[in-house]
Amino acid sequence: MRFCWLFEIGDERTHIIWLFWVNNRTISAVLGFLQLTIAVVSLYQHVFSVVYFQHIFFCQSNITADATLTEHFLAYDIIIFDYGLMHRVLGTTECVANYLDGGYMRGLWCLEQMTALLTMYAGLYCFPRYTWMLWPALLVQSSYALGLAVLTMATAPKLLEAIGGKVTEALFLRLSIFIGGILVNWLFTLTLWHHYWFVDDRLHGRHRQVFQI
């Protein structure tokens, strides 16, 4: 299957920009590490908030230009690649998670995603025959990618309105990070699924061959 006209994803390998092939396991490992880093930093936002502010997620997105490093760190909803974009287009004063339940589910999600990705690495390199070890990451990443897509569709009118106006350098950067994060996670999810199908089919083929013998 083709993705963004730049990637042709097969079950075993992915053709990148029509120049070279990369094994899907390698792509999954690299992109998984990036997402794991994002999840760890996002969870640390909760730890930092609890320790210093006694709040599960002390996120105030309406910061000023002279805000401190701490205020900048807590103003961004890193797990959804929101570096001030929602404040710019929706006028929110806190992160999106705070409007839902105060940020509790966000913290749990970070833990779940970290656990799923660590289990994925065990399935990719330590126990490649146990394809069920990829199931948590497949479930979490599929939900995550779909959730980001739903968030994009929900905010699409405001995003288009912002783009239709004056596009500043700050808006362009925030929008690029948001869209880039979504696309990279979709690429990660699709390559991981194809790798899972490839390994599962190969193992089943071996089982059938042994059974016939």
Spans of all domains in the chain: 25-212
Over range 126-147, report the average pLDDT.
96
∠ CA 162-167-168, nearest 5°, is 125
Please say if the pLDDT value at position 208 is more than 50.
no
Which residues are within 8 A (CB) of 65 and not within 5 positions of it... i.e. 6 or more apart?
none
Residues 182 and 152 sit within 8 Å (Cβ to Cβ): yes
- Can you tell me which residue has the tokens 């396991």? 25
Q: pLDDT digit string (tens) for 73-115?
A: 999 999 999 999 999 999 999 999 999 888 999 999 999 999 9
Instruction: Quote the pTM value.
Output: 0.89
Please state, rounded to an integer, the average pLDDT across all residues of the chain. Answer: 90
Residue 213, pLDDT score: 25
Neighbours of 50 (CB within 10 A): 14
Rounded to whole angstroms, what are the CA distances from 167 to 92, 143, 157? 19, 31, 15
For residues 31-49, one letter each, b for 16 or more C-beta atoms within 10 angstroms of the residue's C-beta and e for the rest, the string is: bbeebbebbeebbebbeeb
Residue 212, pLDDT score: 29
Q: pLDDT digit string (tens) for 33-68?
A: 999 999 999 999 999 999 999 999 999 988 887 889
Over range 1-29, report the average pLDDT.
82
Q: Calculate the CA dihedral of residues 65, 180, 155, 116 and round it to 10 degrees.
A: -110
Q: pLDDT digit string (tens) for 145-179?
A: 999 999 999 999 999 999 888 889 999 999 999 99
